C-alpha cells in the first residue's frame, strides 16, 4: 500500500482467544485531520488504538501509517508518532522538566536541540513557570498538558490519544481541545483520538462510530446527524411496545423502542406533538422533541444506546 493519507486501515481483524475485538475494520484518515473513534466501552476502539500505536502486532489485515507498514516497519512508525495514553505515563516523583528530559533521551534528543524543544513545549502549553514542580503536585488538567508536551517533544507527524479527557473537569477538557486544534493548525499534525464522550467526538473533523468491533458509521459530525432524518421524537408510555405498534399502524412510521421509550424521526417534529397526544390520549405520559445527536446516530445504526452497548460490548 502507498497512500498520501496519514492512516490507512484495511480489513483489520483482531481476536483475544475466541473473542472477536475487531471485525473487518477498514478506513482512512487524512493528513492534518482531527479524527475521533467514538464508541462505548467494549466497542473495539482501545484495541484499534493499541494497533495504531504499535503496542500489539497486527493479526490480520493491514495498517499503513505515514506511508509505512505498521507490521513490518514498526520501529520507523514509532519515531514518527506521538502517543498520549489514557493511563498517566508521567513519573509523579520527577519534575515537569525531568519528565521531558527522560522522554527526550528515548528519542535521542539532547543538547541545544532538546533545550529548544523543551522551551517551545513549556511555552506552548503554559508550563514555563511549572517546569520545576513535581508532577504529583499538579492538577489533572496540568498533568494532561505535560502529557501533550511530552508526546509532541520529538515533533511527531501523527498524535494518538486514548480517551484524553479522562479525569478532566469541563474547563480542562475545553483547554485540551484548544491545544489539539492549535497543534493541527500550527504544526500540521494529524490528531487521532478515542473517546466514549459524545460531546467530545462532536469537536472532531470526522469520526468513526464503533460498536462490537465494527465501524458502523463514518463521516463528519454534521453529516452523521443529518442521516437521522429529522427531529427525534421520544415518548414515555406505560406500554411502549403496544404504542409503537399503534403508531406504525396508524401513521406508517418506522418506530423503535429504546430504553423503554418509543422513538422515531420526523422532519417536522414539533407539529407531531399535538397530533400524537390527540390520537393516543391516555396512553402517553410525556413527549419530547429534539434535534438529532450522535447518540441518535448510534441508536439508528445499532438499535440500542451507548449504555446498553457497554453492558454487552465484546471488544476492548
| Beta carbons within 8 Å of 276's beta carbon, 6+ residues apart | 233, 235, 247, 284, 287
Containing 100, the helix (H) or strand (E) segment is helix 96-106
User: Which domains are present in the chain?
Assistant: 7-224 (3.40.50.300), 229-291 (3.30.70)
Question: What was the pLDDT predicted at 204?
Answer: 96
DSSP type of residue 134 = B
Name the percent of the chain lying above pLDDT 70.
96
Q: Sorting pLDDT into bands at 50, 70 and 90, what band is 305?
A: confident
List the grid coordinates of 279.
390520537
pLDDT digits over 203-232, tens only? 999 999 999 999 999 999 999 998 887 888
pLDDT exceeds 80 at position 307: no
pLDDT digits over 231-278, tens only? 889 999 999 999 999 999 999 988 989 889 999 888 888 989 999 999
pLDDT exceeds 50 at position 27: yes
pLDDT exceeds 70 at position 314: no
Three-state DSSP state, 45: helix
pLDDT digits over 286-297, tens only? 999 988 889 889
Q: Sorting pLDDT into bands at 50, 70 and 90, what band is 3?
A: very low
Average pLDDT along the chain: 91
Question: What was the pLDDT predicted at 2?
Answer: 40
What is the pLDDT averaged over residues 87-112? 94
- C-alpha R_g of the chain: 23
Task: Report the candidate in 308, 307, 306 with the shortest Cα–Cα distance to residue 295.
Answer: 306
pLDDT digits over 38-85, tens only? 998 889 999 999 999 999 999 999 999 999 999 999 999 999 999 999
Amino acid at each position: 500500500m502507498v497512500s498520501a493519507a496519514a492512516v490507512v486501515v484495511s480489513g483489520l481483524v483482531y481476536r483475544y482467544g475466541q473473542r472477536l475485538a475487531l471485525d473487518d475494520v477498514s478506513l482512512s484518515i487524512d493528513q492534518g485531520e482531527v479524527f475521533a473513534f467514538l464508541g462505548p466501552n467494549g466497542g473495539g476502539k482501545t484495541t484499534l488504538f493499541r494497533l495504531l500505536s504499535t503496542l500489539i502486532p497486527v493479526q490480520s489485515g493491514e495498517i499503513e501509517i505515514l506511508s509505512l507498514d505498521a507490521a513490518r516497519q514498526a520501529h520507523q512508525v514509532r519515531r514518527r508518532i506521538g502517543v498520549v495514553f489514557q493511563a498517566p505515563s508521567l513519573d509523579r516523583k520527577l519534575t515537569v522538566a525531568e519528565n521531558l528530559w527522560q522522554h527526550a533521551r528515548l528519542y535521542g534528543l539532547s543538547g541545544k536541540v532538546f533545550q529548544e524543544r523543551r522551551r517551545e513545549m513549556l511555552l506552548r502549553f503554559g508550563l514555563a513557570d511549572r517546569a520545576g514542580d513535581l508532577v504529583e503536585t499538579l492538577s489533572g488538567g496540568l498533568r494532561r498538558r505535560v502529557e501533550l508536551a511530552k508526546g509532541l517533544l520529538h515533533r511527531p507527524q501523527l498524535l494518538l490519544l486514548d480517551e484524553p479527557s479522562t479525569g478532566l473537569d469541563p474547563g480542562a477538557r475545553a483547554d485540551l481541545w484548544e491545544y489539539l486544534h492549535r497543534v493541527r493548525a500550527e504544526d500540521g499534525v494529524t490528531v487521532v483520538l478515542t473517546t466514549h464522550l459524545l460531546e467530545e467526538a462532536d469537536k472532531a473533523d470526522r469520526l468513526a462510530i464503533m460498536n462490537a468491533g465494527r465501524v458502523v458509521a463514518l463521516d463528519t459530525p454534521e453529516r452523521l446527524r443529518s442521516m437521522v432524518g429529522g427531529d427525534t421524537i421520544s415518548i414515555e408510555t406505560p406500554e411502549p411496545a403496544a404504542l409503537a405498534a399503534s403508531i406504525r399502524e396508524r401513521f406508517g412510521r418506522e418506530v423503535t423502542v429504546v430504553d423503554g421509550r418509543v422513538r422515531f424521526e420526523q422532519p417536522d417534529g414539533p407539529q407531531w406533538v399535538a397530533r400524537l397526544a390527540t390520537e393516543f390520549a391516555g396512553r402517553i405520559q410525556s413527549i419530547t422533541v429534539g434535534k438529532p445527536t450522535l447518540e441518535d446516530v448510534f441508536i439508528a445504526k445499532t438499535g440500542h444506546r451507548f449504555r446498553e452497548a457497554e453492558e454487552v460490548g465484546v471488544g476492548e
